[in-house]
Amino acid sequence: MDALRLLTPEITITIFAFAIISLDIAWNDENKSRRILPWLAFAGGLATLLMIFYIWPHVDQYNYTAATDAGREVPMLAVDRMSLFFKMIAVLTVILVGLSAGEYVEKHTPFRGEFYGLMLLAGLSIMLLVSSTNLIMIYLALEFLSITSYILTGFLRRDARSIEAALKYFLYGALASGVMLYGFSLLYGATGSVDLATIAGSLETTQAGLVVAAVILMLAGFGFKIALVPFHQWSPDAYEGAPTPITAFLSVGPKAAGLAVLIRVMVVALPAFDVNWTPILSLVAIFTMSVGNLVALWQTNMKRMLAYSSIAQAGYMLVGLAAWSAAPPSAVAYLGGVDAIMLFLLAYMFTNLGVFAIAIILENQMGTSEIADYAGLIRRSPYLSVALLIFFLSLVGIPPTSGFIGKLFVFGAAVNQGLYVLALFGVFNSVISVAYYFGVLRNVFFEKGSDESPIRVGVAMNTVVTITVVMTLLIALYGQPFIQLAADSAQILAANF
Amino acid sequence: MIESIPLSYYLLLSATLFTIGAAGVLIRRNTIIILMCVEMMMNAVNLTFIAFSRFLDSATGQVFVFMIMAVAAVEVAIGLALLVELNRHKDAVDINQFNSLKG
Amino acid sequence: MPFEIPFVQIVWWAMTACAIGGAIGVVSSNNLFHSALFLVLSLFGVAGYYVLLSAGFLAVVQLMVYIGAIVILVLFAIMFSRRMMKPTEDEMNRQWLVSVIVAAALFSWLIVVVNSVSWPVTSAAPTADTVLQLGLAFLGSYLIPFLVVGVLLSAALIGAIFLAREKVEAEEI
């Protein structure tokens, strides 16, 4: 396929984003046509998704990663199955968040065009980031994602908390990207190139100290996006202050993007390099899981609790990467850790977006997101209560939910490589997480709430909750296609050896 | 002529600038000063890139620096827009006073 | 030639004085306005190095973007809200000692890392026309990043205007 056709998803989403922003300017506030803007964003997301499916069969899963820029159809962007998988996650996130944002946005801000336009652009930036094979592209796409996230986090300008959250996010983000750039500059100096594959080819073993330093510096940038401990301080504040649909977006989109780019850098630029990454990655994974889970225990605000819970979830995903780094090169294709991350991420996306959809519904109704206000939800909306139960079971990793399959694969990969301590930490952390998830559920099912009026759920919201519930169960009950999908997408790793 | 200043001088210099910037971020509490310090760190990075670009004789470093400058400019614009907006809500630029969220 | 003045060295050390002195000034000054001016000094010094490193175009960009745009923006923000200009009593963080130790550790680590490697340096003369090279790079092998920067800038501009503009009627729902 030629370059232009391989880039159709990116081109489609860009066109829709700018169309929405332009139409928003063209139609003044009284114009009734502005009501279609959210649906235009939805259509844009669907069109992009279709383009991804259209490209999928034509993409050779092996061909791209090993090739340097010169041999690639699209310079600096690898359109392989791994990047398409992450693009799919990005677009699905944008679609589901866009659908669940409707009422919230209408209630809180008159600027609908900017909201949906910027959200599509944030989706675009993730799509670019996950396929970047060049430090320049990685930097640009990462900054693109950061800048759109800052704006979206501060979107409720009337609300000081939203602006404050955005400012904190911004300060940490600018610092993280500066530190990351220093790492990039060291790699460039050592190899004279910014192309990942060329870097891999020209690194020498005498440069081990330098490479370790560069990776630690770069980890600041990627870890900031994924919210790994110790680069997570921004996330609870940003999650609490941001508009709730954006919190949902932040909890999935940037995490997926950061993981994808971390995987690509580790796998493509530093594959056969003679440094054992397992201790660094395991340590970060253990800290991320433990801090996330332990601090989540004390939270009283749903958004804040979910912030810490999603930090912990990112820690589980990192277990997969640690397992990959410990694997002998030949074992990467199946159960090698990376396919586990992808499967976990797929499950996590549906589950977490489902939880946030419920949080948005309740916030629309009650105006707060305190866990105490979830009391007596079972009497107000049995459907949402049961859905929440399923989502939380999935986040803990109890069958028959997708979270169980994800954790099974991630911890299974760790055990496969003999990382028993790491897997044990993972399981132990999952047990801790039961406490706070079930704390919410106890409120929902057994406490008596002050308000007994039934919860009204709109059509879009109902769709989101239903889709996420179905997918959360489907990945567990009929998992083979999804496992196959993840393994297929992770195949590029095998091509490197 | 340029060879009279070796690469290691530039690397040392940029490490120094980077550290001064980092120290400023850690020590100071004023948000605008923190922002300026981050800009100084970016500048140190740019200097490293350009020094490498010269001593490796590759244009890539200059391309990268150009991109960094373009992005840094808009990033500052966003940051200051947020700061000015927050200033409409509050009388503070001290980072420790941003406490409506429990830090 | 005992009387030949090592011109480049003198310029280099003058630049270094500007860059590092300015940087220390930014960090230590108690007046926000002075800090911004020190930042100009530091950025100016770094622009000087770019000229020495045969990156004249970027030196000009540095002057225009960093000094011309960023610092002016900072100064506007400072003046826009006058109360920011008042020097406050306690400008330092309470844990300043810890911060200094962390910074010193970072510095020594970076120095060790930077000096531990033999960098692959060429001895070739600098390429004459770097502007031409840059132009070719932007429209040749770096076309896609160049396009992405374009989209990024428009997105950021929309966002910055959105964030900074005055309140509108409809917003007070």
Which pLDDT belongs to residue B103? 43
**Largest CA-CA distance found in chain B, in angstroms, rounded:** 57
Contact A60, A17 (CB under 8 A): no
- Structural fold of domain C1-86: Four Helix Bundle (Hemerythrin (Met), subunit A) (1.20.120)
Q: Where are the domains of chain B?
A: 7-96
C-alpha distance from A85 to closest chain B C-alpha (Å):
28
B1 CB neighbour count, 10 Å cutoff: 8
Q: What is the DSSP string of A103-119?
A: HHHHHH-S-HHHHHHHH
Provide the token pair at A341.
């991350």
Low-confidence ranges of chain B (pLDDT < 50): 1-2, 103
Cβ separation B98–A140 shorter than 8 A: no
Least confident of A87-91, A327-331, A466-470: A327-331
Cβ separation C107–B13 shorter than 8 A: no
Partner-chain residue, chosen from B18, B48, B79, that has the shortest CB–CB distance to A174: B79
As a whole number of angstroms, the distance between CA B20 and CA B44 comes to: 10
Which pLDDT belongs to residue A400? 86
State the DSSP code for C62.
I
Per-residue pLDDT of A265-275, as tens digits, reads 888 777 656 67
pTM, to two decimals: 0.93
**Would you call C118 an interface residue with chain B, using a CB distance cutoff of 8 Å?**
no
Average pLDDT, chain A: 87
Contact A256, A89 (CB under 8 A): yes
Which pLDDT belongs to residue A208? 79
Which residues 170-209 of A are in CB contact (within 8 Å) with C? 186, 189-192, 206-207, 209
Chain B residues closer than 8 Å to C152 by CB? 71, 74
| Per-residue CA distances from A295 to A220, A283, A494 (Å) | 21, 18, 38
Give alpha helix (H) positions in A447-490. 459-477, 480-490
As a whole number of angstroms, the distance between CA A76 and CA A224 comes to: 23
CA B16-B18-B21 angle, 5° bins: 110
Cβ separation A141–C168 shorter than 8 A: no
Contact C63, C42 (CB under 8 A): no
Per-residue pLDDT of A227-238, as tens digits, reads 998 888 899 999
Which pLDDT belongs to residue A86? 94
Provide the token pair at A253.
């989109």
> What is the count of residue pairs from A and C with beta carbons less than 8 Å apart?
89
CA nearest A184: which of A146, A230, A147, A216?
A: A216
Which pLDDT belongs to residue A108? 85
List all residues 6 or more positions away from B2 whose beta carbon is below 8 Å from its beta carbon: B54, C8, C52, C53, C54, C126
**Largest CA-CA distance found in chain C, in angstroms, rounded:** 79
Measured in residues, chain A has a length of 497
Measured in residues, chain C has a length of 173
Provide the token pair at C137.
């790079």
Which pLDDT belongs to residue A386? 93
Which pLDDT belongs to residue C133? 84
Chain C residue with minimum CA distance to B73? C70
- pLDDT at residue A123 is higher than 50: yes
Least confident of A427-436, A451-460, C92-101: C92-101
Residue A497's pLDDT band (cuts 50, 70, 90): very low
Question: What number does CATH give the domain B7-96?
Answer: 1.10.287.3510
Which position has the higher pLDDT, B7 or A141? A141
Provide the token pair at A405.
């399959």
Per-residue pLDDT of B53-68, as tens digits, reads 988 888 889 999 999 9
Partner-chain residue, chosen from A137, A186, A191, that has the shortest CB–CB distance to C145: A137
Which position has the higher pLDDT, A486 or B99? A486
Amino acid identity of residue A252, one-letter, is: V
Partner-chain residue, chosen from B1, B2, B87, that has the shortest CB–CB distance to C81: B87
Average pLDDT over residues A374-395: 91
CA nearest A354: which of A412, A289, A403?
A: A403
Which pLDDT belongs to residue A339? 87
Low-confidence ranges of chain C (pLDDT < 70): 1-5, 81-94, 123-128, 167-173
As a whole number of angstroms, the distance between CA C8 and CA C6 comes to: 6
Q: Where are the domains of chain C?
A: 1-86, 128-166
Best to test chain B binding among A138, A170, A369 (most B CBs inside 10 Å): A170
Cβ separation A140–B71 shorter than 8 A: yes
Per-residue pLDDT of A336-364, as tens digits, reads 788 899 999 999 999 999 999 999 999 98
Average pLDDT, chain B: 84
Tell the residue number behind the tokens 């912990």, with chain if given: A312
Per-residue pLDDT of A177-206, as tens digits, reads 999 999 999 999 888 888 888 888 887 766
Partner-chain residue, chosen from C144, C159, C173, that has the shortest CB–CB distance to A118: C159
